[in-house]
Amino acid sequence: MRRTVHRSATGLLTLSMLLGTTSVFAQTAIEEIIVSAQKREQSLQDVSVAVTAFSGEEIKKLGLSEPADLAALIPNVTSVNIFGNSLTNFVIRGLGFNDIAPNNGSPAAVHLDEVYFSYSIMLSFALFDIERAEVLKGPQGTLYGRNTTAGAVSFFSVKPKSEFEALISASYGNYQNAELEGYLNVPVNEKVATRFSGYMRQQGSGPFYNRFYDIRSGEVEKYAWRAQVNMKPSEVLEVNLNIHGGEENSDKYNYTVSPYGDGTLPLGGNIPCPAYFTGTLQGGEPDCFGYLGEQEPDSDPFTNADGQRGRIDHEGYGGNLNVKWDAGFATLTSVSSYDTFDRYQSDDADGFPQQIVDNYYQNEINQYSQEFRLASNGEGPFNWIAGLYWQKDKMDTPVHEAKSFFARNLGVKTMYVQKSETYAGFLHTEYEFDENWRLIAGVRYTWEERFWDGATYLTSGDPNPNESPTIPVTRVAQRTVKKSWENISGKVGIDYMPNEDTLLYASVSKGFKSGGYNGNLAFADVGITDFDEEIVYAYEIGAKAKLLDGRLIWNNSAFYYDYQDIQLIGNSTVIGPGGLPTNVFALGNLADARVYGVETELWWRPMDGLDIKLTGGWLDAKTKNPKPGNEAIDGNDLAYAPEWNTSGVVRYAKPISKNGLLGSVQVDWQYQGDRFANVSNHPVTHLRSYWLFNARLALSAEDSRWEVALWGKNLFDKEYETTATDLGSTRRLLEIYGYPRTYGLELTYKWN
């Protein structure tokens, strides 16, 4: 049944000749990529899941500094940062999240060192001393479970090693941006090793300009650290303790604010100007006004007249204990964790000096989790993983330091306590019933409970929660509720391996994400709404191949999703007593959806030192079966789901002298197609397509002991929107743009 490599790669050889490579058959094969997508170490090419993996070295050379940065180089994956530099969410194959409330989780789960983070506001951590990152597409309802209807994103820190090594890396760029990263790995003896890692970023300025105060903003102050101890008291036992922490005290990215009322009439009287309906609103329109008659004088996305300077103050600490015991027939793994995270954030969402929409957010999070896994060690045809999982978390929003909303001389404070607890049991099996065929089956039972106790108050006076808490208050909404959900999810798949270099697979899987409660503003009891679970049934086929004697890896997949009861923000406002709206930006199960698409990833090494990586994705993600009151969104595109996207990386390294110097050049790019920021698909929330290009030039020692690199991002200074929010009650559009061109110099030195 084995086919020859030459016969299976005819088309790729033609591509090789078109590019003028005449000696491709005498070069070095691509090294094996090891992932743990299925909770055990396997070659990427042997895993029948659509996975994109990045090594720690790649992450550093590509300048990926935060989790959201990964999305740029993965087909059919985008990242959404609702507040510009906080509240990160991934959108995988059209399945994502755009809730501005912090108390709900994304359907794309993010893990760090096998620990799931419950809330998106915890995901702005820095990527430093990372061994690898893996992005799994499609529902991961068996091994990962909680909130993985879209997929799972996992980061793995470098563990302590048995040899001494140390590294320090310093970078300086425009906007007075200085970054420092390093690690120190010290073995204590043959059985104990320690590793200390750290990261610091200080940026003195930024691209944002405030006309009212005549100041620039964009300052960043960010620190993170990690201390680990790895112990191997015997050949069958390994214990790794990880203690970590970090904080950020930075300016928040400014909104680009475009008023769109056609006059200065009071609330309810102003009608949107023509640019609102055509989707051409960008500021500077002479016939577009805000609620108080204000106008945006220009279309510069980095200027405004905010009355207050937006700030981000985050602080988080935690630890996890990973224990592995080889019992012979199987390996028992225990992952225990605790994390705490405090958030304070303020911003001016109206773009003008008047106090129209000033926001203040404060949240305190504590989460605990425990997972036990027992994985078979046998080399026979049958392998399995069984496990138990528990997690508990609490989000507290204090009453006098709550999220606040200030509009038309009226403050609105929302406070709440939310508690969640989940239990799960799972089983994953693989059976090779023939040397070419493998059956995969898995199942997971999940039970989750959420408790909510919250209220909304009207206040008068200064809305700043750091001022006197004796401001008069009137409670307008209150609710205390507890609900639970349970579900069985899982996967069935079949793998066909015609030869050792090719994998063909097909699978059917089910993902589940529990319901929850709205953490945004409410003006009556009925406005504090809840929503039910969402479910996705996914059908996928794929092919993974090594070609050209291992110098080319080509992976492809096609998929169809039946997405039911999607949790969306759209036309979901609840009408209460007197016919008045009772909530703002409420999340609800607005509709179903059908999603289908294809994607491809190619890694080619046509000659020693030259690596070419190309990706492409096509996606069609549209709503169907809208719930009553949401008929207007029937057939609309899901938010942040571009039809086309592509990316690429070309890296070439070559010795340039006889005394051990290595020169390298790297160019990478991405394209994001047109998309909408809201399922309403209103023209004003349309986000334009864009191309971005980055580059890196480096000179290093051949043994990688030192390196000097010059880098640049967004080389052509492209202006592009990343998100848009229609703040209809105040007749203004809020947009956030991606960062303009940045560049810098990086120095790295390593001891070992």
Query: Which residue in 674, 642, 717, 723 sits closest to 256, CA to CA?
Result: 723
Q: What is the pLDDT of residue 20?
A: 38
Q: What is the pLDDT of residue 27?
A: 62
Q: Which segments within 288-381 are labelled E, that is strand?
A: 303-304, 311-326, 330-348, 358-376
What does DSSP say about strands 165-173 and 177-187: parallel, antiparallel, or unpaired? antiparallel
Radius of gyration of the chain (CA): 26
Task: Report residue 288: phi and psi, to 5°.
Answer: -115, 125
DSSP, residue by residue, 530-557: EE--EEEEEEEEEEEEEETTTTEEEEEE
CA atoms within 13 A on the CB side of 59: 25
Query: How far is 377 from 392, CA to CA, in rounded Å?
Result: 31
Mean pLDDT of 416-444: 95
DSSP, residue by residue, 195-243: EEEEEEEEE---SEEETTTTEEE--EEEEEEEEEEEEEEETTEEEEEEE
Q: What is the pLDDT of residue 469?
A: 46
Query: How far is 139 from 93, CA to CA, in rounded Å?
Result: 11
DSSP state, 177?
Answer: E
pLDDT, averaged across the chain: 88
* SS3 state at 268: coil
Query: How far is 750 from 109, CA to CA, in rounded Å?
Result: 34
Q: What is the pLDDT of residue 355?
A: 74
Structure tokens at 421: 């607890």
CA dihedral sign of residues 21, 24, 27, 31: positive
pLDDT in tens, 195-245: 999 999 999 999 999 999 999 999 999 999 999 999 999 999 999 999 999
Q: What is the pLDDT of residue 410?
A: 66
Report the percent of the chain where pLDDT is more than 90.
65
Q: What is the pLDDT of residue 404?
A: 53
CA atoms within 13 A on the CB side of 226: 26
CA dihedral sign of residues 119, 122, 127, 129: negative
Query: How far is 73 from 96, CA to CA, in rounded Å?
Result: 17
Q: Report H helices in 403-474.
A: none
User: Residue 18 — very low, low, confident or very high, per pLDDT cuts 50/70/90?
Assistant: very low
Mean pLDDT of 582-590: 79
pLDDT in tens, 121-167: 888 788 999 999 999 999 998 999 787 899 999 999 999 999 999 99
Q: What is the pLDDT of residue 110?
A: 92
Burial of 255 (0-12, 13-18, 19+ CB in 10 A): buried
Report the percent of the chain where pLDDT is more than 70.
90
User: Residue 88 — very low, low, confident or very high, per pLDDT cuts 50/70/90?
Assistant: confident
Adjacent-strand bridge partners of 368: 338, 392
Q: What is the pLDDT of residue 471?
A: 56
CB 91 within 8 A of CB 150: yes
Residue 269, Cβ neighbours under 10 Å: how many? 9
Q: What is the pLDDT of residue 525?
A: 85
Helix, strand, coil content of the chain in percent (nearest 5): 10, 55, 35
Domain extents for the chain?
Answer: 5-254+302-751
Mean pLDDT of 84-112: 87
Q: What is the pLDDT of residue 575?
A: 54
Residue 568 has pLDDT above 60, yes or no: yes
Residue 592 has pLDDT above 90, yes or no: yes
Q: Which residues touch 473 (CB under 8 Å, ≥6 apart)?
A: 413, 457, 458, 459
pLDDT in tens, 272-283: 888 999 999 988
Residue 407, Cβ neighbours under 10 Å: how many? 21
User: Residue 461 — very low, low, confident or very high, per pLDDT cuts 50/70/90?
Assistant: low
Mean pLDDT of 574-602: 80
Higher pLDDT: 271 or 140? It is: 140
Residue 4 has pLDDT above 50, yes or no: no
Query: How far is 115 from 122, CA to CA, in rounded Å?
Result: 12
**Of the candidate ranges 47-61, 120-134, 267-281, 461-475, the one whose mean pLDDT is the lowest:** 461-475
CB 183 within 8 A of CB 209: no
Residue 204, Cβ neighbours under 10 Å: how many? 13
User: Residue 515 — very low, low, confident or very high, per pLDDT cuts 50/70/90?
Assistant: very high
What does DSSP say about strands 108-112 and 151-157: parallel, antiparallel, or unpaired? parallel
> Per residue, what are the HEC states of 608-630?
CCEEEEEEEEEEEEEEECCCCCC
* SS3 state at 637: strand
User: Residue 341 — very low, low, confident or very high, per pLDDT cuts 50/70/90?
Assistant: very high
CATH code of the domain occupying 5-254+302-751: 2.40.170.20
Query: Which residue in 644, 627, 626 sits closest to 636, CA to CA?
Result: 626
Query: How far is 217 from 302, CA to CA, in rounded Å?
Result: 10
Higher pLDDT: 197 or 356? It is: 197
Q: What is the pLDDT of residue 402?
A: 43
Structure tokens at 752: 């070992």
Query: How far is 192 from 148, CA to CA, in rounded Å?
Result: 36
Q: Which segments within 88-236 are labelled E, that is strand?
A: 88-92, 108-112, 115-116, 130-137, 151-157, 165-173, 177-187, 192-203, 208-210, 215-217, 220-234
Q: Which residues touch 85 (CB under 8 Å, ≥6 apart)?
A: 124, 250, 252, 253, 312
Cα first-last separation, the chain: 47
User: Residue 292 — very low, low, confident or very high, per pLDDT cuts 50/70/90?
Assistant: confident
Higher pLDDT: 9 or 215? It is: 215
